[in-house]
Structures are given as structure tokens and as C-alpha cells.
């Protein structure tokens, strides 16, 4: 998805885009932000969308830089967070160095999704470069393990409706053309999914130390269109990594 695609989503963002902070039942994001809170410090919300996490950052840091490639999303974020006077908004592409000084705490939720590998590597490098030495990054990405687990549950769901196993497997089958690269088609869009070890490895390569990686669950309805409203846990999940910038 490019800038124009994200601009198109801006008006219907709440309906179309999974809210990770809203579904974070264990409040891992809020706890992490509060743990690293610094009223004299700076924070970044990178790929902030319509600004769901801006208030949390603005209440815990002296200055917040909110950046997004979509000017329409940024405009909505600014309106929705108007009460917070300590937020600076930037229409910026993470594929380029970000237009503000490195921050103490950077948060980036589900932004490394659709860019090709080389561009995604540049985005990750710029993201890590936006954290001061000794500062922290909170990064949320889609989990490949979760996508495969959802396929398993979908086959079971079909079988429970009386489908023969072979039919259930065929119907639940995904486009696996680039599964080896972690690309899974989600909502019609080829989307990068990460395994836990890959995410840790990438962060270490980009100068981030001691990545602590945990699950953030989200409702079945965002993983499987066919999911009944009461589909049993374990729920699907994103990976949330928290890492410290070396130095």
C-alpha cells in the first residue's frame, strides 16, 4: 500500500484497521510506555495513523513526534488529539530519515506491513536510528506463527461444520507463493509476517539490544472472516518487541 492507499483508508480507519492498543487485553503497550515514561524526554509515534497511541505518549513524555506517510491520517490524528499541546506532527516517509532528532522512546505499530524487503529494511534502519542510544523501541508486527495457527483453526472449523478433511484443507488453503519470505495475503493484501526469532535477529542487527518479544492478542474476526463471535481462545496475535538501543 502506498501513500494514496493510506489516504483512502483515513476516513474509515476505525472500521478497517485493527486497533492493537484497544485489543491489548494485558495492557502491555500502556505498561511499557509507563515504565519508560519521562516528562523531560521525547517520544515518537512512527506510522501513527489516526493517532490511537498519541494520547498515551503525550501523557508520559514531554514532547511527542507523530509521523505518518498519509497526510489525511495525520490530519485526523491532529484533530483527535487536539487537547495535547506537546505533540508535533510530521508528514513523513519512514523509508527516508525522519525529520526530527532521535527520541528516548519510539513506538511503531503495524507499519512494516506491505513494503518490499529492501524498502522494509531501510524503514527498520530508519526506525532504529530514530531512537537515542540507551532509549527504547516498542515495535508491533504481524506474527507468521499466528497466521499458520489461524489456518489450523480454520480447517477445524470447516470440519466441525461437516466438511470432509480434504475439502476443509483445500477451502482453508492460502496463497503460499511467498510464504517462505513470510508473505501472507491478509484482507487481499500481501503482508509481511515475522517469526519471533527473525524479529529478534533483525533488531539485534540494527543495534537494538535484548529484544523482549511477547504476544498481543486480537479478536478472531480480524484473522478469519468466517470466525463465529465466540470462537475459543487461544486468540491470534501480533508480536510486540521491546528493545534498547545500544550505547
By the criterion CB under 6 A, which residues form the site for ligand SAM?
6, 17, 20, 47-49, 52, 68-70, 73, 93-95, 109-111, 123
CA distance 57 to 109: 13
To the nearest whole angstrom, how small is the minimum distance from the Cβ of residue 20 to ligand SAM? 5
- Nearer CB in complex with ligand SAM: 19/63: 19
- Nearer CB in complex with ligand SAM: 29/168: 29
Find the angle CA(53)-CA(58)-CA(62) to the nearest 5 degrees: 145
To the nearest whole angstrom, how small is the minimum distance from the Cβ of residue 65 to ligand SAM? 12
- Nearer CB in complex with ligand SAM: 49/135: 49
To the nearest whole angstrom, how small is the minimum distance from the Cβ of residue 22 to ligand SAM? 9
- Nearer CB in complex with ligand SAM: 44/47: 47
Could you give the residue ranges of the DSSP H alpha helices within the chain? 3-9, 13-16, 20-23, 28-35, 54-58, 71-80, 117-129, 144-160, 165-172, 196-205
To the nearest whole angstrom, how small is the minimum distance from the Cβ of residue 1 to ligand SAM? 7
Tell me the pairing of strands 131-142 and 237-245.
Answer: antiparallel
CA distance 5 to 68: 13
- Nearer CB in complex with ligand SAM: 144/155: 144
**Continuous segment of H or E residues that includes residue 88:** strand 87-91
End-to-end CA distance of the chain: 35
- Nearer CB in complex with ligand SAM: 121/169: 121
Closest residue by Cα to residue 239 from 148, 140, 146? 140
Q: Does residue 239 contact residue 46 with C-beta atoms inside 8 Å?
A: no
- Nearer CB in complex with ligand SAM: 62/99: 99
Q: Does residue 137 contact residue 208 with C-beta atoms inside 8 Å?
A: yes
Q: For 37, list phi and psi in degrees, rounded to 5.
A: -55, 145
CA distance 113 to 123: 11
- Please give the residue whose beta carbon sits closest to ligand SAM in the complex: 49
To the nearest whole angstrom, how small is the minimum distance from the Cβ of residue 168 to ligand SAM? 30
To the nearest whole angstrom, how small is the minimum distance from the Cβ of residue 68 to ligand SAM? 5
To the nearest whole angstrom, how small is the minimum distance from the Cβ of residue 83 to ligand SAM? 19
Amino acid at each position: 500500500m502506498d501513500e494514496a492507499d493510506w489516504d483512502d483508508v483515513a476516513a474509515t480507519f476505525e472500521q478497517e484497521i485493527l486497533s492493537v492498543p484497544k485489543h491489548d487485553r494485558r495492557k502491555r503497550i500502556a505498561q511499557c510506555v509507563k515504565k519508560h515514561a519521562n516528562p523531560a524526554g521525547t517520544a515518537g509515534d512512527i506510522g501513527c495513523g489516526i493517532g490511537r497511541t498519541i494520547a498515551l505518549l503525550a501523557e508520559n513524555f514531554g514532547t511527542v513526534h507523530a509521523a505518518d506517510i498519509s497526510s489525511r491520517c495525520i490530519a485526523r490524528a491532529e484533530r483527535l488529539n487536539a487537547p495535547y499541546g506537546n505533540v508535533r506532527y510530521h508528514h513523513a516517509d519512514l523509508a527516508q530519515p525522519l525529520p526530527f532528532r532521535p527520541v528516548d522512546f519510539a513506538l511503531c505499530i503495524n507499519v512494516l506491513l506491505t513494503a518490499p524487503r529492501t524498502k522494509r529494511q531501510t524503514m527498520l534502519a530508519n526506525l532504529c536510528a530514530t531512537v537515542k542510544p540507551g532509549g527504547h523501541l516498542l515495535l508491533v508486527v504481524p506474527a507468521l506463527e499466528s497466521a499458520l495457527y489461524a489456518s489450523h483453526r480454520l480447517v477445524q472449523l470447516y470440519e466441525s461444520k461437516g466438511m470432509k478433511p480434504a475439502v476443509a484443507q483445500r477451502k482453508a488453503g492460502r496463497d503460499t507463493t511467498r510464504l517462505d519470505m513470510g508473505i501472507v495475503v491478509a484482507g487481499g493484501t500481501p503482508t509481511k509476517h515475522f517469526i519471533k526469532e527473525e524479529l529478534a535477529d533483525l533488531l539485534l542487527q540494527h543495534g537494538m539490544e535484548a529484544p523482549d518479544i511477547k504476544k498481543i492478542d486480537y479478536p478472531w474476526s480480524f484473522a478469519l472472516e468466517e470466525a463465529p463471535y465466540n470462537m475459543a481462545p487461544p486468540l491470534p496475535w501480533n508480536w510486540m518487541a521491546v528493545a534498547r538501543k545500544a550505547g
